[in-house]
Structures are given as C-alpha cells and as structure tokens.
Amino acid sequence: MFDLIVIGAGSSGCALAARASEDPNRHVLLVEAGPDYSDLRSTPFDLVNSHNNSYSAHDWGLSYLPTAGRDVRFPRGRVTGGSSAVNTTIALRGVPEDFAEWAATGLPEWNWEGVLPAYRRLERDLDFGERAWHGDAGPIPIRRYPASEMTLPHLAFFEAAKALGYPECADANEPEGWGASPQPMNKLGRLRVSCAVGYLAPARIRPNLDIRPETLVTRLIIENGRCTAVEVRNRTGAIEIIRARLIVLAAGAIMSPAILMRSGLGPRAQLEAHGVEVHRDIPGVGQNLSDHPALSVTMRPKDPAMIDHDAPIIQSILRYTAPGSDKRCDLQIEMLSFTGRRDEPQFGIAGVVEYQHGRGELRLASADPDAAPVIDMHFCEDDRDLERLVACYRDVLDFARQPAIADLAEDIVFPRGGSPTDERIAGLCRRFAGSGYHPCGTAKMGPASDPMAVVDQQGLCHGVDGLVVADASIMPAVPRANTNLTAIMIGEKIGEWLRTRPALYGL
C-alpha cells in the first residue's frame, strides 16, 4: 500500500514524483512502461545525444492523422524521462498571455503569477539566471548557443532575420520579448538533461521513492466512485494490482486519456462501443487535442559537406506575431541544420502556428492496452489556423530567398515550382502540415461547470475521488511555445502542492 502512485515517468511525472517524495513520510511509487537507466554510463547514446531526437529506439510506435488521407509516425518517449529523454531539448516557456487565458477559463491558480515560481524553480538558467523571471538553482540547466558554436545555416538565419527587419532577442524566454533568438535548450554540451537526469537522478537515493520500469498500466481500479489501485502488467507479463491512497496519472497527452478510457472514465458512447464498463461518463476525455501545425521549406545545399547530421539540428528561433493578429507571438520560424536522409543532404526552415484555434481528438481503437489510440489532429480545418500558417509559410519563403540563406542552397526541394500563390500554399498546408510533436489538452482543466473539463485546477478528477491527472493533457490549450518546459512546470507545481498541501489531495 503506497501513499502515492505516479503513472508515467515522463516530463511531468519525474518532476512530480521527485517533489512529492521530498516528504520522507510519503511512500511514492513511480511506474513507467519503458526501461530505466539509473546512471549515465548505462544510458544509450540515442538518449544522451541532444543534437537530434531519438525517433525509434525508445518509442511507443504511434502514428497520427494530421489531415485526411495520411498516417504519420508520431514519436513519443517510452523510457524514464519520457519525451524529455528523446526530444530536441528546446526549453521555451509559454508567454504570459497563455496563462491569462487559462486563468480566464476559471483556473486562477494558473495565471502568469501562479506559474512563474514553478518555471523558476525547475530551471538553472546558465545565461540569465540573475534576472527576476529566471531561476538559477533548479534541476534543469538551460543555456543558449553563442555565435561561436552556431552552424553555418543558423548564422545565415540570423543574418536573414536582420535583413528582413526582425529584432534580435537575446533571451527568447523574456516574458515580453520577441524576435530572432538563440534557442534556450536543456543540454550541457551534447548531453540531453532529461527529467530522468535532472529530477530522478538525485531523488533515487530516497528510501521512500520506488521506481518500477517496464511496467505497463492496463487500467485504473475504480471502486464506489474512488480510484483505489492500478492494474499493471509487469516485466514478466504477470498482472498485478497495486493499491495507494492517491493515484496520479502523468502518462502524457496521448496515454493518459487512453488509460482513463480503458478504465471506464470517458465518453459513454465510445466506452460502450469497445465493451468498457462505464464508471463515469466524462465527455471531455480525449477531446480538445491541441498541437502546433507546421510546414517546412527544404533546400539542397551547394556544398553537401555543409550538412552534418552529427551537429545540433536546432540552434535558433524566431518568435513573432502574424499581421493583424491579436495573439502575440502566435508564429514561430526555425532553421533546421539538416532534414531527411543522410544520403540526401538537405536543410530546411520550418514555419509553425503557435496559437491554435482548431482541435483534434483522441479515440480508443480497442480496449486492448497494447492497441495504440487513434490520434486525429484535424490540422488547418479551422480557417484561422490555415490563414496563419499560410502567412507564416510566406515568411519562411522570404527567409529562403534572402542572400544569406539562398547563397547556401543549390535549389529548393520543397515546394517546387517557383513562387507559389497563397491558394497553392493553402493547399500544401491542408495536405502536408505536420505536428510539432506538442500534443496536449486531452484531459483539460476547468471548473465543474465546464462540461468538457476533466480535472479541476489542482488536477483532481471531476466526479472520481482519489485520482489526479498532472501532465500536458490537462493544459486547456497548447501554449505558444514548445511544450516540454510547460509539462515540467505542471509536474513541478502539482508536485509541490502534494508536498505542501497534502490535505487538498486527501493525504
């Protein structure tokens, strides 16, 4: 019998388990479906290598439907550290306006003033740690590449940005800042400082923290309206029931809603269609899927030797606002040092919609815990998103034509055919827009008066006692930033509440 079971050792789960286990009187169990590497010497290179993502070695094998007629691989980390252990290590925060909008939906604890302490607590900013909005003593180190460490494409990106009139911004995480910046990244040299490295490594010595890897949660046990236990399949294939006073679901925006639905918590019609006993009809589970639709220009270099797949893939960022938009920093442009296969040298520039109006959905394909859910993004079906991505892609093409970048390129591989019209760009967006790998919102926070809310602002599940959800799935909407730092912030914030306000959670 544990005090607390945390399901999922990803970005949020590691932070939450580490913070909650700071209380030596709480026995915490952290359950992870993937493997665990307890020290860096035994950690495989794909998890250490922050210069590029790990795409398959520690992956769930998922795919998603961005638009009609396509099925695309959707890498998500299956290992302690979760997607923080396999991602590009971009450490961007959401902007204050994101959290003002969250608060306005009935979540006052999540305004900018409410989330800033957690953002500061999680980071050790090696460049700007002395500034009031940064932290300098947290478990996640953050730094930016200086010009002396930039690859040629990224140096060209900054030169092009200056020629196009965008301002320089030394710190992309400055709350009111915008412009062309070196990417803030949670890496030290080549080492990816995942949440398994930053949070779990120092917490492992605690006798009150147990970590069980290669343990798949098949369902939650609901008894008389209360979550009392988890059913797991352990590394030997045996089924176990593990009980706790409180269950925290932190399996991420894809797996958390899938676990809820397999446990009988979700939209009634969908559960009944898969033969799942309905414990609570919660229509918002799996709905409200939010992400960042993106589309790239790819180029063939004049000198193939310029493309080094062993170099950092990303070092720079432009955060800016679409013409006429009332949503500040609703667009991003990123230079990619390399794209595609090693035997076809290419580099690229990605345009990304950061403030998404449209929503997708996640559905069960089967009640089988080994069956991947259906992930349907519905990208660019909302005209507001399409209009922004068209405008952003037009700006990306302007970057590609600037001499600093154009002089590096033999030709443009995609899109072909010279200068496309807005109508053609819109067609490309509808057909080819892909995920920024930032899914969230599938078990969103909201007051009980919101029929689509799944949890309240403390993460407590509406209508089910003893159950908390604390990961990217509870975000009401995708923030205007890569989501990893915000996912860590959620685990940090709710983990701190579990330690300092246990009565709120029945502990």
- In 88-170, which residue ranges form alpha helices assigned H by DSSP? 96-104, 112-122, 152-163
In a structure prediction context, what are the per-residue pLDDT tens digits for the chain, which is 507 residues long?
899 999 999 999 999 999 999 999 999 999 999 999 999 889 999 999 999 999 999 999 999 998 766 789 999 999 999 999 999 999 999 999 999 999 999 999 999 999 999 999 999 999 999 999 999 999 999 999 999 999 999 999 999 999 999 999 999 999 999 999 999 999 999 999 999 999 999 999 999 999 999 999 999 999 999 999 999 999 999 999 999 999 999 999 999 999 999 999 999 999 999 999 999 999 999 999 999 999 999 999 999 999 999 999 999 999 999 999 999 999 999 999 999 999 999 999 999 999 999 999 999 999 999 999 999 999 999 999 999 999 999 999 999 999 999 999 999 999 998 889 999 999 999 999 999 999 999 999 999 999 999 999 999 999 999 999 999 999 999 999 999 999 999 999 999 999 999 999 999
- For tokens 């003002």, the residue is 100
Residue 118 main-chain phi, psi, to 5 deg: -70, -40
Residue 274 designated active-site: no
Dist. CA 282–CA 435, nearest whole Å: 27
Give the 3-state secondary structure of residue 46: helix
Which sign, positive or negative, has the C-alpha torsion 63, 315, 130, 97?
A: negative
pLDDT at site 322 = 97
- For tokens 């760009």, the residue is 425
Angle 199-204-206 from CA coordinates, rounded to 5°: 115
DSSP-assigned letters across all residues of 241-274: EEEEEEEEE-SHHHHHHHHHHHTTEE-HHHHHHT
Give the 3-state secondary structure of residue 227: strand
- For tokens 């590394």, the residue is 235
pLDDT at site 29 = 98
Annotated catalytic residue, options 27, 154, 378, 438 = 438
Dist. CA 291–CA 173, nearest whole Å: 20
What is the residue type of 320? Y
Contact criterion met (CB below 8 Å) for 361 and 253: no
* DSSP H or E run through 191: strand 191-192
pLDDT at site 346 = 97
Pairing of strands 140-144, 123-125: parallel
Dist. CA 337–CA 316, nearest whole Å: 10
Domains with residue ranges and CATH for the chain: 2-45+193-288+440-505 (3.50.50.60), 146-182+293-355+380-432 (3.30.410.40)
What is the residue type of 148? S
Dist. CA 23–CA 402, nearest whole Å: 56
**Whole-number Cα distances in Å, 187 to 12, 139, 192, 225, 387:** 18, 12, 5, 43, 35
pLDDT at site 222 = 98
Bridge partners of residue 179, in order along the sequence? 319
**Whole-number Cα distances in Å, 191 to 18, 83, 194, 438:** 21, 15, 9, 22
Minimal CA–CA distance to 37: which of 204, 239, 188? Answer: 204
- The gap between the terminal CA atoms of the chain, to the nearest Å, is 13
Contact criterion met (CB below 8 Å) for 49 and 94: no
The number of CA neighbours under 13 Å toward the Cβ of 371 is 13
